[in-house]
């Protein structure tokens, strides 16, 4: 992995202020001085090649990572080497927050494509959160958003298998669209087996759901290329099972 140092930034062009994804990481309305302070948290940029790990299970928790480009999966491994996917992180997401609990990471973060992250050391982050209430609120919102996503997509019994797959596709499309990408046509960076692991489903179940959605004219799938043809139908299928 290649480390790219970030030099101290001028107020007019700090690292965070110049980033196209800052609205996803930072609250709106920060002054130039506050943006410069936020940029000063970033100790370095770190390139992570596809297939490499950003951190591993039991590594000491020293920093939070903001994904600048690329895509990651977070996972835990069983004793026999079986993989359980705990999340997918894309540009604008924070990775490594689970290490806050006991100051050690409880899983691995693996790049699904060539990626780059901003490394935010933990002590400066905590100090800045104390000094900037708006940033603290944004940090809590990010934590809450991840918890809400997991509750919707991953809790067994909450949704039927095919509905969980539909909810996953809609969530992925919404996240991509919020980052300026197409929300109706995209490439899956993860395999169907990885989607199944994340949702608590088998590879075969995920594949059947994709085939069923395609047969109904809701989506078009060519290998990892996905096109949403009838987003309202997918939304209706999910909403019909959501608790009141």
Least confident of 59-68, 142-151, 177-186: 142-151
Higher pLDDT, 143 or 86: 86
pLDDT tens-digit map of 118-146: 898 888 888 888 888 888 887 888 777 77
Higher pLDDT, 152 or 238: 238
Q: To the nearest whole number, what is the mean pLDDT of the chain?
A: 85
Instruction: Provide, rounded to the nearest whole percent, the portion of the chain with pLDDT above 70.
Output: 84
User: Where exactly are the structural domains of the chain?
Assistant: 2-150, 155-239
The number of CA neighbours under 13 Å toward the Cβ of 122 is 14
What is the C-alpha separation between 68 and 20, in angstroms, rounded? 9
Q: Token pair of 43, please?
A: 């100790």
User: What is the fold, at CATH topology level, of the domain defined by 2-150?
Assistant: Jelly Rolls (2.60.120)
pLDDT > 50? residue 57:
yes
Q: Token pair of 15, please?
A: 């690292």
Judge contact between 182 and 237, C-beta under 8 A. Answer: no
| Tokens 């992570």 belong to residue | 48
What is the C-alpha separation between 237 and 211, in angstroms, rounded? 16
| Strand partners of residue 72 | 89, 111
pLDDT tens-digit map of 199-233: 999 999 999 999 999 999 999 999 999 999 999 99
| Contacts within 8 Å (CB) and 24+ apart, 2-10 | 2/46, 2/47, 3/44, 3/45, 3/46, 3/47, 4/44, 4/45, 4/46, 4/47, 4/116, 5/44, 5/45, 6/39, 6/42, 6/43, 6/44, 6/45, 6/118, 8/40, 9/36, 9/39, 9/40, 10/36
pLDDT > 70? residue 13:
no
CATH architecture of 155-239: Orthogonal Bundle (1.10)
List phi, psi (to 5°) of 77: -115, 135
């Amino acid at each position: 992995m290649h480390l790219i140092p970030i030099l101290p930034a001028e107020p007019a062009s700090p690292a965070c202020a110049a980033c196209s994804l800052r609205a996803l990481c930072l609250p709106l309305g920060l002054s130039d001085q506050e943006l410069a302070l936020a940029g000063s948290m970033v100790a370095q940029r770190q390139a992570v090649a596809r297939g490499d790990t950003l951190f591993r299970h039991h590594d000491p928790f020293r920093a939070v990572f903001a994904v600048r480009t690329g895509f990651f999966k977070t996972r835990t491994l069983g004793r026999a080497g079986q993989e359980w996917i705990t999340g997918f992180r894309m540009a604008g997401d924070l990775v490594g927050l689970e290490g806050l609990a006991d100051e050690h990471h409880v899983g691995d973060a693996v790049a699904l494509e060539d990626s780059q992250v901003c490394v935010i050391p933990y002590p400066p982050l905590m100090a800045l959160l104390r000094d900037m209430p708006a940033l603290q609120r944004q940090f809590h919102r990010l934590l809450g958003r991840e918890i809400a996503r997991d509750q919707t997509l991953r809790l067994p019994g909450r949704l039927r298998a095919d509905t969980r797959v539909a909810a996953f596709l809609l969530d992925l499309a919404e996240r991509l669209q919020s980052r300026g990408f197409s929300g109706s046509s995209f490439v899956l960076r993860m395999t169907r087996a990885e989607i199944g692991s994340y949702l608590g489903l088998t590879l075969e179940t995920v594949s059947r759901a994709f085939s069923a959605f395609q047969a109904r004219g809701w989506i078009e799938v060519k290998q990892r290329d996905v096109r949403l043809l009838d987003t309202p139908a997918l939304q209706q299928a999910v909403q019909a099972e959501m608790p009141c």
